[in-house]
Amino acid sequence: MSELETWRDKWPVPDNGKPLKSEHLRGLALGTLAQAAAGIGRLGWGLALPPDATPGKANDASVRGGQIEINALSVVLPEGIYVRLPRASAALPDRGELVLGLVWTLPDHAPNENQSARVEPELKIYPEVSAAAADGATVLAEIRSAGRGRRRVLRWIAPVLEPGATPETAAASAALAEAMRSASVAASANDLYEWQSAAVTLRLAANQPASSSTTAVQGEISRALGEILALVRGLAGKDDEAVRDAAAMLAASLEAAPIEAQPDELANWYAKLTNAFVPHGPLMAWLRGTDAELRRLRGYPRASAVGRRLDRFDVNGSTRVLVRLHLQDRAPPRVLWQVDDGPVKLLDLSLVPGGFEAVLSLPETAEQLELELPVEAKVELRETLVHGEDFA
């Protein structure tokens, strides 16, 4: 049975020529509103992103001057009624922990026989949830005192129907989408089918519009990041401890996916997933390809002194670099290194079969690495993974 048929059974429409009473008006108005809300295509109730609104601009709440103010209030109520107000406010009592409710009413009669009964929504403050329920209000948020000076803050109780429905969830989901796009670019550099497949699912998950339902978005995110976990579990070596640790953090975050999430819960979940893909972290370095050789800058190497030369490499995006010298000497040569305009340092080399090696930890802002070394030394630089203790 359709929603509209349900309303007709509850408030039957009288035959032609018979009076239309106020209860009929009310029932028909409710049915029309519920049917319109169902046409939006949303499941459940909660904070919504209006069809023509910019993500993050709806349900922007603030507490100041003894008053709660909400710009672009947009919410689907449990009854299936969609309420949208450009601006809504409610005065706060001086103290106490309170709840914010939304009350909507219909007049007993339509203004005249040619008009429908109009919904009149308003925000009201209640001392507790039971008081709001007794007044027929839908509780949207709670107001608590927090932080220095016991300032008041609003915390939404209503769940989020779309990621773009609040400023905090819109920002957090955008950050996660950007991280997944970067991971997709990194994975797509590998020609293996499994990596290409992961890159595609990451890109699809990242490109979901903020107006998609939260449930659908969560499903796509979980599917894409699940492929990354499968890659790590199947292809990461035993020595890639940092990568496996990062993957374990990602798996734990996916397991903790909120159901009917409130804005702060959803934003925190997005943030935890984003943290697994920090640009210079082990997971991104592994996706880009372990042991990738770094590019020598144009015009190098060049002579610097008798028997010595300068070599300069592009290290943008690399935080840990393996320097390998192919040299037959048993004693380490004198090699100087410098990052961008930083101080010149002596490279601490270790003897390995076929030459010498050193691992350099670079700042995240590093762009160029310059080496001064003997002309007979063949040098190669490769990006390597950070160690487990370097990952936070």
Please give the class, per CATH, of domain 302-390: mainly beta
The Cα–Cα gap between 224 and 201 comes to 5
Supply 192's token pair. 């293996």
* Assigned token pair, 8: 């007709």
Q: Residue 382 pLDDT > 90, yes or no?
A: no
pLDDT number for residue 149: 59
Spatial separation of the C-alpha atoms in residues 169 and 270, rounded to whole Å: 8
pLDDT of 324 strictly over 60: yes
Residue 317: alpha-carbon gap to chain centroid: 22
Q: How far is CA 291 from CA 271, 324, 335, 351, in A?
A: 29, 12, 22, 19
How many angstroms separate the CA atoms of 320 and 315, rounded?
9
Q: Is the peptide bond before 78 cis (omega within 30 degrees of 0)?
A: no
Q: Kindly report the CATH number that applies to the domain delimited by 3-158.
A: 2.60.520
Q: How far is residue 312's CA from residue 294's CA, in Å, rounded to a whole number?
A: 10
- Span 98-133, pLDDT tens digits: 999 999 877 666 666 666 666 778 899 999 899 998
Residue type, 93: P
Strands (E), 82-200: 82-91, 98-105, 120-126, 138-146, 151-156
CA distance 166 to 142: 16
Q: So where are the chain's domains? A: 3-158, 164-288, 302-390
Give the pLDDT mean for 14-36: 68
Q: Which of 187, 184, 195, 278 is nearest to 234 (CA)?
A: 195
Q: What is the pLDDT of residues 193-229, one digit of tens each?
A: 888 899 999 999 999 998 899 999 999 999 999 999 9
> What pLDDT is stored for residue 146 in this prediction?
67
pLDDT higher than 50, residue 380: yes
Average pLDDT over residues 175-203: 89
